[in-house]
Amino acid sequence: MQVVILSGPGWHADQLCRALAERGHSGRVLPYEGIVARLGAAHSGPSALSCEHTAIFAADAVLARFIPGGSLEQIIYRVDALHWIEEHGVVVVNSPRAIERSVDKFYTDALLQEAGLPIPETVVCEGMDDAMAAIRELLERRSSGEGGGGDVIIKPIFGSMGHGIVRVSDPDVAFRVLQSLEQVRPVFYVQRVVESGGRDVRAFVVGGRVIGAIERLANGGDWRTNVSRGGSARPFELPASWEALAIAAAAAVGADYAGVDLLPSRDGTVFVLEVNGIPGWRGLQRATGLDVAGAIVEHLVGRIPASRSAPAVRLRPDPTEELA
């Protein structure tokens, strides 16, 4: 099998190439920024969509990894290209639909709720007045001792690794945060803090099963558990009910593989906090020794129809060669 990995260079791409090679397959890492679409009668074959002299439609499969930042037009073009690849019968993992669903915290939460999964109380809106009303309600409930109250987190609707998240316990501070954000015309994402004792669990789901999990602990006095922010990780044996939550969460967004964050509260409730459709796994692999890339590749290969072949894909094409 010959697989295109759409991604920038880095550790995860190297891991996937290594896992492909160990199983007798070929992988080539290509940048989203290099995708060229050629339309019209003269470009109706495999060369209609290419990157660095590789005809993407001729690949056996595409592994869609991290989509780099860019303008709205650039992001839409890259995702549309993934849709077009899939419509040509090429297996794309994760699918563009799963990526669209999981990259948007609002859409993810809406799908999780429709699937009957527990999520923290959240309000999403465009109006600053609506956001402030939600924040005041949650903080007042905390002050009065009513259930469901507590500190509030203000998050960007897009983002990862704990960047851009602000925790507030005072309405005046919240107002200043929202007022600053309003300058960039955001969607406000306001969520009740779930008191978890500075811990959460990342379950890694591949092909409808959990291959491993880690418990992440916040660093020092920080409340964020992200390993990228200094949190620590250790192997964690998921209870059966938690495993079922993780599998159902990945299925809700249609992901072939996903990192599902579970947040156990002090009262025993386990919430689904996030479903990452382009997950990293360095911390999981370091803590557990699992070959995560190998599991992804084996699932990917199992999805490729036996009849499909890709003789036109070349891992080291002649840069002077013209596309067929």
Unique residue bearing structure tokens 């007022």: 179
Give the architecture (CATH level 2) of 122-192: 2-Layer Sandwich (3.30)
State how far the Cα of 88 lies from the Cα of 106, in Å rounded to an integer. 30
Beta bridge partners of 168: 152
The answer to whether residue 241 scores a pLDDT higher than 90 is yes
Residues 25 and 302 sit within 8 Å (Cβ to Cβ): no
Q: Taking Cα atoms as reference points, which of 9, 32, 61, 101 lies closest to residue 297? A: 61
pLDDT of residue 40: 86
Cα-based angle 158, 162, 168 (whole degrees, multiple of 5): 95
User: Which tokens hold the place of 115?
Assistant: 């699937």
Q: At what angle do helices 72-87 and 96-103 cross, to 10 degrees?
A: 150
pLDDT of residue 324: 34
The answer to whether residue 321 scores a pLDDT higher than 50 is no
State how far the Cα of 278 lies from the Cα of 250, in Å rounded to an integer. 12
Tens of pLDDT along 18-43?
A: 999 999 999 999 999 999 999 987 77
Break the chain into its structural domains and give their ranges.
1-94+291-324, 102-116+196-277, 122-192
What is the biggest distance separating any 2 CA atoms in the chain, rounded to whole angstroms? 72
Return the CA Rg of the chain: 22
The secondary structure of the chain, three-state, reads CEEEEECCCCHHHHHHHHHHHHCCCEEEEECHHHEEECCCHHHCCHHHEEECCEEHHHCCEEEECCCCCCCHHHHHHHHHHHHHHHHCCCEEECCHHHHHHHHCHHHHHHHHHHCCCCCCCEEEECCHHHHHHHHHHHHHHHHHCCCCCCCEEEECCCCCCCCCCEEECCHHHHHHHHHHHHHHCCCEEEEECCCCCCEEEEEEEECCEEEEEEEEECCCCCCCCCHHHCCEEEECCCCHHHHHHHHHHHHHHCCCEEEEEEEECCCCCEEEEEEECCCCCHHHHHHHCCCHHHHHHHHHHHHCCCCCCCCCCCCCCCCCCCCC
Pairing between β-strand 188-192 and β-strand 35-37 as defined by DSSP bridges:
unpaired
Q: Could you give the count of Cα atoms lying within 13 Å of 276 in the half-sphere of its Cβ?
A: 17
Tens of pLDDT along 93-135?
A: 999 999 999 999 999 999 999 999 999 999 999 999 999 999 9
Q: Does domain 1-94+291-324 have CATH number 3.40.50.20?
A: yes
- CATH number for the domain formed by residue range(s) 102-116+196-277: 3.30.470.20
pTM for this prediction = 0.87
Tens of pLDDT along 136-175?
A: 999 987 665 555 556 899 988 886 555 678 999 999 999 9
Tens of pLDDT along 175-224?
A: 999 999 998 888 999 999 988 777 899 999 999 999 999 998 877 656 56
State how far the Cα of 186 lies from the Cα of 270, in Å rounded to an integer. 29
Give residues with Cβ within 8 angstroms of 271, minimum separation 6.
118, 119, 120, 194, 262, 263, 264, 265
State how far the Cα of 63 lies from the Cα of 27, in Å rounded to an integer. 9
Mean pLDDT of the chain: 88
